[in-house]
Amino acid sequence: MDEKQLVKTSKLLSRVLRHDPGSAGVTLDENGWVRVDTLLAALARHGRRIGRAELDVVVETNDKRRFAYSEDGRSIRASQGHSVPVDLGLPATEPPPVLYHGTTGRALEAIFREGLHPMSRQDVHLSADTETAVRVGSRHGRPIVLVVDAAALAAAGHRFRVSANGVWLTDTVPPGYLSRQP
């Protein structure tokens, strides 16, 4: 499978497993899982035939590790980023002292006024390294990296979770816990 096909399939899976399962005629369970055979059959009914081998390649090679199989390999879900309600069942985890968030200049004023909010997703996404934050911010223009005082935020009672692909999740980040990376 070539890179273009991988990206196309990954985007399709993101849409179905994170935002609009009904577009493929599937229903996610409360934890975001759908059986692989159900997903593949539903996609085929909607004109997009994907074999298990192709699905395996997308799951294994996605640079952001967006998707995960259940322990028995019979179900699949998105690791985070849902706009549909799911409970990923991730335990509260003590964050590192500092986390990062990638954004662009046009969002900066609102962020420093209102903080970070999940917007259309369930959680605010943070990264443990600046490289990832730069990559995230680059999707929408010239990237700006924000530094999140995660230790102080956790001490103030905010809960953190970390997804299977290493993305740190929290409900909100008030502006007082944010600074711009020089």
Question: What confidence tier does 165 reach under pLDDT thresholds 50, 70, 90?
Answer: confident
What are the extents of the domains in the chain?
3-78, 98-180
Topology of the domain comprising 3-78? Arc Repressor Mutant, subunit A (1.10.10)
List, for residues 96-148, the tens digit of each pLDDT value: 999 999 999 999 999 999 999 998 888 999 999 999 999 988 988 899 999 99
For β-strands 161-162 and 98-104, DSSP reports them as unpaired
Same topology between domain 3-78 and domain 98-180: no
Please give the model's pTM, rounded to 2 decimal places: 0.80
CA distance to 1, 102, 122, per residue, from 125 (Å): 30, 9, 9
Rounded CA-CA distance 146/134 in Å is 10
The top-level CATH class assigned to 98-180 is: alpha beta
